[in-house]
Amino acid sequence: MAKCDEGYRCDVCGENVSEITESDLYLRYVIGHVDPETLHTASERHIGCNPALAQFIVDDAFKPIFAAGEFDKRNLDSLYVAEQQKLITRGWRRLCELVGSEESIIQYPLPEVRDKLQTRYK
């Protein structure tokens, strides 16, 4: 069976990642942490299965997640935390906008990420 027929399994918990709003891979793509050339080969996991990233989503519609240990945002530089919260929350909100959308996958990333990609691939 083709991977697209099987769905995408979380590398952490083994369950299907069934919604784009649950996808750590697409969140990282939208915020520019995954190159479009490697998107199809990158590992998938639920956002909640990656607390080091998920902890930066600050939105009433997203249940807060806390990372343990050294990567807990409460142990990190406050300026860095503020920047990451802004970026990653915007990325998650972008995923929410994409639900049911007909947009091309190349349009998924945030505007500044698309601009960088266009410059890079010219």
pLDDT tens digits along 62-118: 999 999 999 999 999 999 999 999 999 999 999 999 999 999 999 999 999 999 888
Give the whole-number percent of the chain exceeding pLDDT 90: 83
* Total structural domains within the chain: 1
Q: Would you give the DSSP letter of residue 33?
A: S
Smallest CA-to-CA distance from 11 within 67, 55, 65, 49 is with 49
Q: What are phi and psi of 43, to 5 degrees?
A: -70, 150
CA distances from 12 to 8, 40, 51, 84, 92 (A): 12, 18, 11, 23, 20
Q: What is the pLDDT of residue 5?
A: 45
What range does the domain containing 88 cover? 3-120
Mean pLDDT of 20-35: 96
Burial class (CB in 10 A: 0-12, 13-18, 19+), 65: middle
pTM of the model: 0.90
Q: What is the pLDDT of residue 120?
A: 73
Q: How confident is the model at residue 3 (pLDDT cuts 50, 70, 90)?
A: very low
